[in-house]
Structure formats: C-alpha cells, structure tokens
Chain A
Amino acid sequence: MQTQEMTRTKEPASAGDTILSVNNIEVIYDHVILVLKGVSLTIPRGGIVALLGANGAGKTTTLKAISNLLGAERGEVTKGKIVFKGDEVQALSPNDLVRKGCIQVMEGRHCFGHLSIEENLLTGAYTRKDGAAAIKADLEMVYNYFPRLRERRQSQAGYTSGGEQQMCAIGRALMSRPEMILLDEPSMGLAPQLVEEIFEIVKQLNEREGVSFLLAEQNTNVALRYATYGYILEAGRIVLDGDAKALRDNEDVKEFYLGVGGEGRKSFRNVKHYKRRKRWLA
C-alpha cells in the first residue's frame, strides 16, 4: 500500500502551520434562523481535528460553511471569516475549493446511486486537469485503501451496503487529491467494526498521504481516539476544546458524551440536567 502514495510533494507539518482557520463565524438560514453563533476553529496542516456535539449542535452547518455549500440551502455566513490556505472561502465557489484541495464528504454518504462505484470515484476527479494516467493511478490507490470497492466496482452504488457507500464517498473525495477532507458523520448508521475500519483508514490517509481531516462526529468515543484535537459544539457555540487526550480525560466529556460516570455517580439517573449547561459555561 505504501508504494501507492500520491506523488504530490508533502509539505512538512511545521508547528503553527495552519491549513484552515474559521474565525468567529455566524450562520443564518433563511435570513432568520441563527444556527452558528460565533464558531472558531483552527486545523493544523496534517492534523485530524474532531468536531463533536449532539444532533442540531451545528456540526454539519459548520462543515458546509467551510466547503461553501450553504448557499444551496439558503444559508449564509453573516459574520466572521473562513480562511483556507490563505484564501477567503466565501469568495470561492465550491468547485474552486475542491480544486484548491478542500473537499467535503457529506453526511449520509450521498453516493450517486445510479452510477457504478467506479464511476462514482471518477466523478471525484472531475476538477482535475492532470490527465487520465494520473487519475488511473489514484483510482488504483483508492482501491488499495478500500479493497472492497474494487470487488464492487461495477455495481450500482445505490445497491451497495452502507459501509461500502461510506467508503465510496471517502474514495470519491480522495480522487480529487485533497489536502483537507471535511468528513461529516462517517459513523452514521454503521456497525461498530465498520466504524473502526473507516477511522483506521482515515488515520492511514492522514499519515501516508498527509491529508488533514476535520471530522464532525456524534460518536465521541471513536472520534477522540483517532483525532489529535477536539472541539465540542453545543447549540451553535464552541463550549470546550483541547487536545484529544485531555478531552478524553475530561470529567464533563466523560459524563455527557462518553457515558462514563464521574466519581460517585453510577448512572445518568443521578445527573441533573441543569448541571450540564452550568458546567460548560463556567
């Protein structure tokens, strides 16, 4: 597998080298619904950053703001700015962004159901201009990371399993030769072993191909094991951030997201709801 690495020259991940920064953004849908109330994130080049939070916390909105896909859903970034590799994202179209190396894998896979797996992967190379040979080599690379896709290459994506579709969606993103992948809920609806398998591949891609990841996840446990840094989002605000290890050991995170009780508490029955809010805001 190692021999199939992308030929792109990897820039060394020096300290303080930021690939993406989100500064205090506010997102409003339909001119009235305020979804993000000042979210800031920094993704170092070559890092895996987890964005955690419950349903409706604003994870997907944050990711779509970064990949500039909000416009199609009548959402708008009204404040703050997002900078990817030195350029302001709002000034770029989604296809410019893909060309610059930032691609999103959407929540719920979104494979092209009527296209075969291989055709799905090839659509990922739509923006590339470096010729058929290079694309073919990358197709081979994707098949090496996801051998299951090679077996199903001729199947219509709509008829493949959820896990295969997730692999197809990630593989499709890889075909654009990204430097940064925004991965939205890769674990959704998948069996635990499959979730491990997918995260394991994410880690390999990060180490071997130098792709940076921003992972939006509800599965805090798995996400914090693979990420280097984490942000916790609640009701459109970042309430906590820190190294993945520190977050894993944090009593509040354990209590609210990992389902591990703190000292003296044996079950959720003993956790008072108001406490949650108070502790985060303190």
Chain B
Amino acid sequence: MLYDIFIGPFVQMVEMPDFFLQVLWEGFVAGILYALIALGFVLIFKASGVFNFAQGIMVVFAGLTLVGFYESGVPALLALLLTIGVMGALAYGIERFVMRPLVNQPDIILLMATIGLTYFLIGLGEFVFGGEPKRMIAEELGLPTGSTAFEMGERGLVILQHIDIAAAVIAILMVTALGIFFNKTRIGRALRAVADDHQAALSVGISLNQIWAIVWFAAGLVALATGIMWGARSDVSFALEIVAFKALPVLILGGFTSIPGAIIGGLIIGFGEKIGEIYWGGLVGGGIESWLAYIIALIFLLFRPQGLFGERIIERV
C-alpha cells in the first residue's frame, strides 16, 4: 500500500517518460484553460470587489454569439468583430442596469445580482441560439488544428495539439497585456482605486460608471477568448458553464486579486489534476480529477486565505 502511494507512481514516471510528458502537457493545457476563466473573475473582482458569478455563462454566451453569427452567414473574422461588439454592448448594459443602481451596496448584494445576471444570460442565450451544443469555428478563425508528434528516444512519442499551443500563447499574451494595463496606465490605476474604495474614487473624480463598463468589457473579451479555446476542445454548450466553477479553486489558490496568480493557480490545479488522476487515481478507484482541485483549495483556505499572490488583507485604521 505504502509502495503504491510513495514509490510506485514515481517508478512509473521514470520508466515511461514519454507518457509522463504527455500527462504533463495535458495538465499544462487544462491549467491554461482554467487560468483563462479565472482571469475573467479576477478582472471584475479587482475593480468592484465582487465575485462575478456570471463569468461562466459569459464564456458560453460569447461562444454561442460567435458561432451564431457565423451560422447566419457572416464571415468568421467579421463574426468575431461583431461578437466583440456584442460583449461591449453587454458590458454597457450590465453597468447601466445592474451595477449603477447598486452602487455602494454591500458586496453580497452585488454577488446576488451577478447570480441573477447568470440566469438572465442563460435564458437569453437559449432563447436566441437554442439549447443544442454547437461546434466552435476554430478552424475558420485561423486557429491551427492538427497536431505534432515528438518522438521520444526509441519508444513512444508525445503528441501536442496545435490548438493547445495556440491557447497557451493567447493566454500568455492576454495576461501580459492585462498586467501592463492594470499597473502602468491611468485607467488601470483608476480600476485598482475603485476596487479599494468606491467612495474615495468618486471623490477624486473617477467615474465609476465608466470604469465598470471598461472592466466588464475586458472580462467579456477574456470570456470570448476562453469560449473559443474551450469550445475548440469540446463543443460550445451550456454545460461549459460548469467548468467555470473550476475557476473557484484556481482563484483561491492564486488569489482573487492577482492576474499572475490566476495563471499559476490554474497551472497548479491543471497539473495536479492530471498527474493525480493518472498516477494515484487508481488507488481510490479513479475520478480524482473532479474533486482534487477543491481539496487543494480547502487546504489553502486553512493556511493562506489570500492565496499565493493575493493582495494582503490590510486591516488598520
């Protein structure tokens, strides 16, 4: 038994390095995709201190809109632009009709509002696009398909899906851009100011309405990217919304306010899940993948509640 836990899996890893690398790659890709979802949450949380329950459905909604435009005969790239426009309109609508009337309410009220928003978007999405899963137009958008196999010495090979590589590159680009935006620009600084203190931000002349519209739009763009990447791997369907809950342990791990944290947290969860499932899953009859992330998150909550990179909770008068 002890051998199976502490030695066996590592022997396996060493004996079959190609398989191990394949598992690592799968973990990496899953991690990147979790990180993309978590990124959307972080954006909204940073600027309004609210956990945006609707981020998952925004991913689905963005994906469906994109496919919907394409299916109605619009060329793929134009459909992408139109979808960006729709996410912008959505951001404006959310700011105008949800956030603005609720300014200065306790965070819990805003959380409830985003839950309401979730159901609104589910209804709207089903009404407009129907409930069936749709195929993502990854190829039409110019994303690489296919795969490359790397030979590993004499036996076995590691297969890399091109779409996964693209996902990783896009995620890294987005994180870099967002990091610069938040820390170096005037609007980014204002976003962080709003996150700290709504009232004080108002008093120095920062327009909350403008800031919120911007941040929801940014979250919408992240949702669109996430929708494309997830959609390319499976289908675009409302079931994707569930995946968003995987972002929760990622956020607890990485910290709700940290963009790099979302990435690192995503990777830890991604690697942990895949490796745990393949090498240790057998011991408990498999299925580790679906709950391991939450256990890791729980342990983190006990010992480091602000996450790995979260802003320290400052309490002083």
Task: Let me know if B126 is at the binding interface, CB within 8 A.
Answer: no
Interface size on B, residues (CB 8 A): 25
B199 partner residues in chain A, CB cutoff 8 A: 69, 72, 106, 110
| Pairwise interchain contact B104-A73, C-beta atoms closer than 8 A | yes
Cα A176 to Cα B190 in complex, Å, equals: 14
A113 partner residues in chain B, CB cutoff 8 A: 196-197, 314
Task: Let me know if B103 is at the binding interface, CB within 8 A.
Answer: yes
Asked whether A123 and B316 contact (CB < 8 A) given A110-B199, A115-B196, the answer is no
The minimal Cβ–Cβ distance linking B310 to chain A, given in whole angstroms, is 11
Cα A97 to Cα B202 in complex, Å, equals: 11
| Pairwise interchain contact A156-B207, C-beta atoms closer than 8 A | no
Asked whether A176 and B196 contact (CB < 8 A) given A115-B189, A126-B190, the answer is no
| Pairwise interchain contact A112-B200, C-beta atoms closer than 8 A | yes
A72 partner residues in chain B, CB cutoff 8 A: 103-104, 198-199, 202
Task: Let me know if A162 is at the binding interface, CB within 8 A.
Answer: yes
Cα A110 to Cα B196 in complex, Å, equals: 9
The minimal Cβ–Cβ distance linking A24 to chain B, given in whole angstroms, is 25
The minimal Cβ–Cβ distance linking B6 to chain A, given in whole angstroms, is 42
Interface size on A, residues (CB 8 A): 35
| Pairwise interchain contact A122-B189, C-beta atoms closer than 8 A | yes
**Chain B 196-220 per-residue mask, 1 if CB under 8 angstroms from chain A, else 0:** 1111111111110000000000000
Output the nearest chain B residue to A102 by Cβ-Cβ distance: B205
Task: Let me know if B311 is at the binding interface, CB within 8 A.
Answer: yes
B205 partner residues in chain A, CB cutoff 8 A: 94-95, 97-99, 103, 126-127, 176
A162 partner residues in chain B, CB cutoff 8 A: 317
In order of increasing CB-CB distance, the 10 nearest A-B pairs are A98-B205, A158-B314, A110-B200, A112-B196, A127-B205, A95-B205, A72-B104, A123-B193, A112-B193, A95-B207
A99-B205, A106-B199, A162-B317 given; name 15 further pairs at CB < 8 Å.
A69-B202, A72-B104, A94-B203, A95-B206, A97-B205, A104-B203, A105-B203, A106-B200, A112-B193, A112-B201, A114-B196, A122-B186, A123-B204, A126-B205, A172-B204
Interface residues of A (CB under 8 A from B): 67, 69, 72-73, 93-95, 97-99, 103-106, 110-115, 119-120, 122-124, 126-127, 156, 158-159, 162, 172-173, 176, 189
Interface residues of B (CB under 8 A from A): 103-104, 186, 189-190, 192-193, 195-207, 257, 311, 314, 316-317
